[in-house]
Amino acid sequence: MYDFIQKFHSGWAYLALLVLVVAVVNSFIGMSSKKEFTSKDRKIALFALIAIHIQLLVGIILYFVSPLGFASFGQMADKALRLTSLEHPLINIIAIILITIGWSKHKKLVASESKFKTFSIFYGLGLLLILSRIPWNMWF
């Protein structure tokens, strides 16, 4: 069980990060070129939202089956364990909340520019937070 969930979380992260990067780049391009927000732009943002939520769900399960998750919670002196048991989950949950807020906010907006701007800010911040707390040396 642990092995499967760990591999899934590790592999899905490539896809989730890729679509999130695409969504952020797309919203920056849309914002700077002042183009119209189309259903294609909405779909890109939606795919990123879904992919990142799947990553979150698998991450929560992993947290309780991994020796590096909840089982290591409290071992603050060990940098690597502090990352996987506290910083990575906490910061990523905050990032995913921001991404979700960005998605809900865009629905209430009418102007294309505001929609692109909202995605640029919320998805962009979420991406930065996620990248800041990935256990890079475990991943590669």
Is residue 92 a contact residue for ligand HEM (CB under 6 A)?
A: yes
**Per-residue interface string for the shown chain with ligand HEM, residues 3-42, x marking contact by CB under 6 A:** ---x--xx--x--xx-------------------------
Measured from the CB atom, the residue of 93 and 109 that comes closer to ligand HEM is 93
DSSP class of residue 110?
-
The residues near 70 (Cβ < 8 Å, ≥ 6 apart) are: 63, 64, 85
Residue nearest to ligand HEM (CB): 59
Measured from the CB atom, the residue of 66 and 118 that comes closer to ligand HEM is 66
CB of 64 to ligand HEM, least distance (A): 9
CB of 110 to ligand HEM, least distance (A): 30
105-140 CB burial, b ≥16 within 10 A, e <16: bbeeeeebeebbbbbbbbbbbbbebbeebbeeeeee
Measured CA to CA, the distance from residue 130 to residue 108 in angstroms comes to 26
Measured CA to CA, the distance from residue 21 to residue 23 in angstroms comes to 5
Q: Residue 113 carries which side chain, given as an amino acid letter?
A: E
Summarize as ranges the residues that interact with ligand HEM (CB under 6 A). 6, 9-10, 13, 16-17, 52, 55-56, 59-60, 62-63, 66, 68-69, 84, 88-89, 92-93, 130, 134-135, 138-139
